[in-house]
Chains A and B, each alone.
Chain A
C-alpha cells in the first residue's frame, strides 16, 4: 500500500454520481457510496435492481456513463489496470474452468496474476488447504458439487492477495450448509484485512455479514447504514395472530385500529415494541375479544421489514403484508 493510498482516503471504494443507462432505462441513476477499508459492505436489492451492474462497473468490466469512482486508490477510468491489480471478482456464476482440475485452475490464476512459479505453487497449496479442496485438487472442477465450485471460485479470487473482493450473490443457489461455510470464509477474509463488497438478495445474509448495508431500488440507494441503523427505520416489531373465523378477524381489527389485516390467511398484525408490559396488555385485550386464536407469533423488526418498507411503494404500511411478500 503506497503512502498516497493511505493519505488519499479512508475509503476502499468511493463512488460519486454514478450513472449507467441501458437504452432508455437508467439502471443506476446517480449513486453515491463509500466503503470503508477492511469492512464488509452489502448491496441489497431485488432481482434487476442493478446490483450486478454496480459490481461490473466497480470491477472495471463495464464502463459507467457518468460519475467518479475510486477503487483501492485508483481512478476507475484513468487507471483500470491499477484497479485490477488490487481487486478480485467472484461473479454470480462460478467462473471456474470445468475441464481443468482445481489445482490447475488456481495455477492458471497465479500465472495470469504474474505471481511467479514458486509463489504460484505455494499460494495454490495454501488455498487448496484453506478451502478444504486438497483431496479434490487433482479432479476436474466440472465434477465438483455446487459448494465446492464456489469455494474454488473464491480461492481463485484470492490467489493474487487482493485488497478488495467483489462477491456477486455469493450464496445464491447454495444449500444451507454451504451458505454457512461461505459466510465463515467471508468473515475470515475480513480478519485478513480484505474489504468485501457483496451483493445479495438475502436479507439475513446482509444482516449476518455486513458492517454497512445499502438498499438499491429504482436506480438509487434508498437507504444506507449499519444493519441496526436500518432496522431503526421501521417502527418496530409486531405480534401476529391467525384466527379461524373470518368474522372474528374484523371483530379483532376494530379493537386494534393500527393493525394490518391479511384476510386470506385470516392473520392480523398488531404493532408492538416487544416489551413485556405492552405484550401483556395486548394479549389481555385479545383475550377480551373472546375469539379463537389459531397461532400467535412475535416478530422483531429485521432487514426484511426495512427492505419491504423501503422498496414496496404499493404498501402504505411500513410493515409488510406477509401474504404477498413471500
Chain B
C-alpha cells in the first residue's frame, strides 16, 4: 500500500517533469506566460486606464484581474497539451506500462499550476516596476497567493477536463474560451456597479468577482468583507467538479 502510494507519487513527479520540460520548450509558453501578461498590463493601465474611474489608482485596481485573465490563457495551453497526448498516442504507451493511473492527469495539472503561478509572479513583478505598491503584510500576501493558487488549481482541472472532452487540439483551444471570457464580465477591470443591472447581477455572482475582490482586498488593504468565503467555495467547488469530470472522462475515453 505504502509502496503503491510512493510509486504513484513518483510517477506523478515524472509526468510533471515531462510536462514542465515540454512547456519550457514550447514558444507559446514564453508568449502566453511572459509577453502576454506584460502586454495586458501595459494595455489596461496605459491605454484604458486613463478613462477608468476607480477608487484606487487603476494599476492597483487591475492587477488581480490581469492575474486571473492570464491564468485563463494558461489554461488553454493545459487543455491543448492534454488533448495532444490523448490524440497522438503517448497516453496509450503510458497506459500499457505499470504506471499509476492518476499520474497522467496529476502531471498535467501540477505543471499547469506551477506555470501559472510563475506567470502570476511575472504580472506582480512587472506591476511593481510600473508603480504597483501593495500595502499587504506577509499574512495578506500569503492569503492572496494561496487564493490565486487555488483559483489556478480549479481552472487547471477544468482545463484538463476540457482537454479530455475535446477530440482535437483546436477544439480544446476553443473550449477554454469561456474561462478567458469570465474575467471581463466581473469586477476585474471595471467596478460592477457601472454595468447595466442585468449584467451587474451576473458579474456579482460569478466566481471570478469574489476572487478578484478578495485578492484586491488582501493586497491593497481594502476590506475583504464577505467575499473571501464565496471565493474559496467557488474555487474549491470548481476544482472538485473539474477533477471529477477529468477523471471520469479519462476513464471513459480510455475504456474503449
Seen from chain A, the residues whose Cβ lies within 8 Å of a Cβ on chain B are 22, 56, 59-63, 81, 84-85, 87-89, 91-97, 99-100, 104, 108-109, 111-114, 140, 156, 160, 166
In contact, A61 and B254 (Cβ under 8 angstroms): yes
A89 cross-chain contacts in B, Cβ below 8 A: 92-93, 96
A100 cross-chain contacts in B, Cβ below 8 A: 18, 21-22
Taken residue by residue from 1 to 20, chain B's Cβ proximity to chain A (1 for < 8 Å, 0 otherwise) reads as 00000010011001001100
In contact, A140 and B14 (Cβ under 8 angstroms): no
Give the CA-CA distance A78 to B229 in the complex, in Å: 46
- 7 residue pairs, one from A and one from B, having the closest CB atoms: A95-B93, A89-B96, A84-B98, A95-B89, A111-B14, A59-B96, A95-B90
Selected contact of A104 from candidates B21, B92, B97, CB within 8 Å: B21
Most buried by A among B22, B88, B98: B98
| B255 lies within 8 A of chain A by Cβ | yes
B97 cross-chain contacts in A, Cβ below 8 A: 84, 88, 109, 112-113, 160
Majority secondary structure, B binding face: helix
Taken residue by residue from 21 to 55, chain B's Cβ proximity to chain A (1 for < 8 Å, 0 otherwise) reads as 11001100000000000000000000000000000
Chain B, interface size category, equals: 20 to 34
Give the CA-CA distance A96 to B93 in the complex, in Å: 9
In contact, B18 and A114 (Cβ under 8 angstroms): no
A160 cross-chain contacts in B, Cβ below 8 A: 97
Give the CA-CA distance A111 to B18 in the complex, in Å: 11
| B252 lies within 8 A of chain A by Cβ | no
| B95 lies within 8 A of chain A by Cβ | yes
Taken residue by residue from 82 to 102, chain B's Cβ proximity to chain A (1 for < 8 Å, 0 otherwise) reads as 000000111011111111000
B7 cross-chain contacts in A, Cβ below 8 A: 114
Q: List 29 A-B contacts (CB under 8 A).
A: A59-B96, A61-B92, A62-B255, A62-B256, A84-B98, A85-B98, A88-B96, A89-B92, A91-B92, A92-B89, A94-B89, A95-B88, A95-B93, A96-B90, A97-B18, A99-B21, A99-B26, A100-B18, A109-B97, A111-B10, A112-B11, A112-B94, A112-B97, A112-B99, A113-B97, A113-B98, A114-B7, A114-B98, A156-B93
In contact, A97 and B254 (Cβ under 8 angstroms): no
B92 cross-chain contacts in A, Cβ below 8 A: 56, 61, 89, 91, 95
Question: How far is the CB of A29 from the nearest CB of chain B, in Å?
Answer: 18
Residue of A nearest to B87 (CB): A93
Question: How far is the CB of B205 from the nearest CB of chain A, in Å?
Answer: 41
Residue of B nearest to A160 (CB): B97
Give the CA-CA distance A200 to B93 in the complex, in Å: 19
Question: How far is the CB of A75 from the nearest CB of chain B, in Å?
Answer: 16
Other A-B pairs beyond A61-B95, A99-B22, A114-B98, 16, CB < 8 Å: A22-B256, A56-B92, A62-B255, A88-B97, A91-B92, A95-B89, A97-B18, A97-B22, A99-B21, A100-B18, A100-B21, A100-B22, A111-B14, A112-B14, A112-B103, A140-B25
Give the CA-CA distance A92 to B90 in the complex, in Å: 11
A109 cross-chain contacts in B, Cβ below 8 A: 97
